[in-house]
């Protein structure tokens, strides 16, 4: 069954042809001199009698009347056209207006949307059933959008319309991206990898934290960034690398410190477990060895042969020459 209902603070509640109850015949709505004004319940009862085509729709009428009373109390105007039954109310569009007659809320059945407007008539919130998202606007543009469809995403824009924050959710894992005014990622949290990336204005990663292997890496600003510092929680080490990516200094949890040349070869090593110090040439040959456990100091030639030994335990010095027997002093 079809009916048209309208309620406004200064117009009353109307049905069918739009005739307000204030204009009904005296037997229904007019008030004689000295009589008390009709109550809202009396108006609804009179309206039900006049609109016979509604039949047995007292529940639907009561619901709509209550909605109209509440809206009228708030100073809104309600316009409705559609079908009413005891269990449902069907219509295409519902408008709610403020006391100034300005539209503030719109429920649209055509595209399955809800819009909320400010006092200036600008859209501030929109819920779209077609696309499945919720949007919040400032005075001129969308600033926040929640899209649960597909991967699930939340986007936040700056005042200039530039995207600044993106939150994504997927079966593999979610992510959070913070962008600068140029739209470049500056901070990225990746739940799938358990990682955090911090980037410079050129979009190059400068700091990376990996939850998968427990590392923290810092990179330089070159065109192809090289990792310069790495803290590794898995093996308890810190590596400082050269611009070419080769190890420069390595500190290990076993108490070792190793320094390397530009080719990555170890040239100097401190062994914390044994209390030793070793030096190496470019060919990787050991040339000098301080043995803390014995109190020895040993020197080697390029072929790896020991030529000098200072024996601190016995107070002796040993000399070894090619093709000659080792001599000592004293």
Chain segment 280-313, per-residue pLDDT in tens = 999 999 999 999 999 999 999 999 899 999 999 9
pLDDT of residue 44: 64
Evaluate if pTM is beyond 0.85: no
* 300 domain residue, yes or no: yes
CA torsion 59-61-67-73 (nearest 10°) is -130
How many domains would you assign to the chain? Answer: 1
**Picking from 13-27, 36-50, 194-208, 238-252, which range would have the lowest pLDDT averaged per residue?**
13-27
In a domain, 314, yes or no: yes
Does position 55 have pLDDT exceeding 90, yes or no? no
Write down the pLDDT at residue 138: 95
- Of residues 21 and 234, the one with the higher pLDDT is 234
Is 19 inside any structural domain? no
The top-scoring range by mean pLDDT among 6-15, 24-33, 64-73 is: 64-73
Q: Does residue 17 sit within a domain?
A: no
Residue 249 within any structural domain of the chain = no
Q: Mean pLDDT check: name the lowest of 23-32, 135-144, 248-257, 270-279.
A: 23-32
CA angle at 70 for the pair 69 and 72, rounded to the nearest 5°? 65
Residue 112 lies in a domain: no
Q: pLDDT value at position 227?
A: 92
Percentage of the chain exceeding pLDDT 90: 55
Task: Give residue 89's pLDDT.
Answer: 72
Domain that holds residue 305: 274-330
Mean pLDDT score across all residues of the chain: 81
Q: What is the pLDDT of residues 212-270, one digit of tens each?
A: 989 999 999 887 888 999 999 999 999 999 999 899 999 999 899 999 999 999 999 99
Burial class of residue 27 in the structure, from the number of CB atoms within 10 Å of its CB (0-12 exposed, 13-18 middle, 19+ buried): exposed
Q: Which of 42-46, 80-84, 104-108, 173-177 has the lowest mean pLDDT?
A: 80-84
pLDDT of 268 = 97
pLDDT at 172: 78
Within 8 A by CB and 6+ apart from 170, the residues are 151, 152, 192
For residue 180, tell me if it sits in a domain.
no
Q: Which of 110, 106, 99, 146 is nearest to 122 (CA)?
A: 106
As a whole-number percent, the residues of the chain with pLDDT over 70 amount to 74
Token pair for 148: 């649960």
């Amino acid at each position: 069954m079809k009916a048209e209902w309208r309620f406004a603070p200064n117009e009353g509640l109307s049905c069918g042809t739009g005739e307000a109850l204030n204009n009904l015949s005296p037997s229904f709505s007019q008030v004689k001199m000295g009589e008390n004004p009709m109550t809202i319940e009396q108006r609804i009862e009179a309206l039900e009698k006049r609109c016979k085509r509604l039949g047995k729709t007292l529940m639907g009428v009561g619901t709509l009347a209550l909605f109209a009373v509440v809206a009228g109390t708030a100073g809104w105007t309600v316009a409705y056209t559609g079908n009413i039954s005891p269990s449902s109310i069907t219509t295409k569009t519902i408008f709610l207006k403020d006391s100034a007659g300005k539209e503030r809320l719109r429920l649209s059945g055509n595209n399955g949307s809800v819009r909320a407007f400010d006092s200036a008539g600008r859209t501030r919130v929109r819920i779209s059933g077609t696309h499945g998202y919720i949007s919040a606007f400032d005075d001129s543009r969308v600033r926040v959008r929640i899209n649960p469809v597909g991967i699930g995403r939340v986007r936040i824009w700056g005042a200039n319309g530039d995207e600044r924050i993106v939150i994504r959710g997927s079966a593999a894992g979610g992510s959070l991206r913070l962008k600068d005014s140029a739209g470049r990622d500056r901070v990225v949290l990746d739940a799938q990898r358990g990682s955090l990336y911090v980037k410079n204005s050129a979009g190059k990663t400068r700091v990376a934290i990996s939850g998968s292997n427990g590392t923290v890496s810092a990179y330089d600003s070159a065109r192809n960034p090289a990792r310069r510092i790495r803290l590794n929680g898995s093996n308890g080490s810190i590596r400082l690398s050269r611009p070419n990516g080769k190890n420069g200094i390595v500190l290990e949890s076993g108490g070792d410190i190793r320094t390397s040349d530009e080719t990555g070869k170890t040239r100097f090593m401190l062994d914390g477990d044994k209390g030793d110090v070793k030096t190496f040439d470019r060919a990787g040959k050991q040339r000098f060895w301080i043995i803390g456990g014995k109190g020895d100091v040993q020197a080697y030639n390029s072929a790896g042969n020991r030529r000098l030994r200072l024996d601190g335990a016995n107070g002796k010095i040993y000399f070894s020459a090619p093709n000659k027997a080792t001599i000592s002093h004293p």
